[in-house]
């Protein structure tokens, strides 16, 4: 619980200086779905067909992660956008992210109502070094190492 509270306080205090990925003006993702990738290439959002009922410009802003996190903080915009179907958020991790831990110790957490929540349905692909989870709405996410 202390970890979640610390993340929330730091995230709320962060200024959201955008260094992330924005789709070109006028480009968006609609009924056919698509993929948005952060500028650093580490976080992606895979939106399946039917998850949106209208075109939306989606971006990922990158800010320094809160103390105790193993990655930057990825702010998916527009915050709070709710999907009709689950979308997949994937994070490409490396040895630095692991910090000597096992890949199964990684977790994606999302900011929820001034607190942090572990994303459900998380999967680790150790061969490709990808941590993924399904979400139903956009928020700020980071990676933590448990254990």
| Each residue's pLDDT tens digit, 35-74 | 999 999 999 999 999 999 999 999 999 999 988 899 999 9
Closest CA to 79 of 99, 101, 56: 56
* Segments of the chain scoring below 50 in pLDDT: 1-26
As given in the structure block, the two tokens for residue 139 are 């928020």
Helix (H), strand (E) at residue 4: helix 2-13
pLDDT score of 67: 87
Tell me the pTM.
0.81
Round to whole Å and give the CA distance between 10 and 122.
24
CATH code, 2-145:
2.60.220.30
The predicted pLDDT at position 114 comes to 78
Instruction: Name every residue whose Cβ is closer than 8 Å to that of residue 95 and which is 6 or more positions away in sequence.
Output: none
What pLDDT is attached to residue 111? Answer: 87
Q: What per-residue confidence (pLDDT) applies to 23?
A: 42
Domain segments of the chain as ranges: 2-145
CA separation, residue 26 to residues 22, 39, 40, 56 (Å): 11, 19, 22, 9
CA-based Rg of the chain, rounded to a whole angstrom? Answer: 15
pLDDT of residue 28: 92
């Amino acid at each position: 619980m202390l970890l979640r509270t610390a993340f929330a306080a730091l995230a709320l205090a962060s200024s959201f200086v955008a260094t992330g990925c924005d789709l070109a003006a006028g480009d968006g993702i609609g009924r056919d779905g698509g993929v948005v990738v952060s500028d650093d290439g580490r976080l992606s959002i895979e939106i399946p067909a039917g998850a949106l009922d209208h075109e939306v410009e989606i971006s990922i802003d990158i800010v320094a992660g809160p103390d105790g996190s193993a990655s930057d903080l990825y702010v998916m915009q527009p915050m709070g956008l709710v999907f009709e179907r689950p979308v997949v958020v994937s994070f490409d991790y490396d040895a630095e992210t692991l910090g000597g831990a096992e890949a199964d110790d990684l977790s994606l957490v999302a900011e929820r109502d001034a607190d942090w929540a572990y994303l459900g349905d998380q999967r680790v692909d150790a061969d490709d070094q990808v941590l993924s989870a399904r979400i139903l709405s956009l928020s700020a996410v980071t990676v933590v190492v448990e254990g």
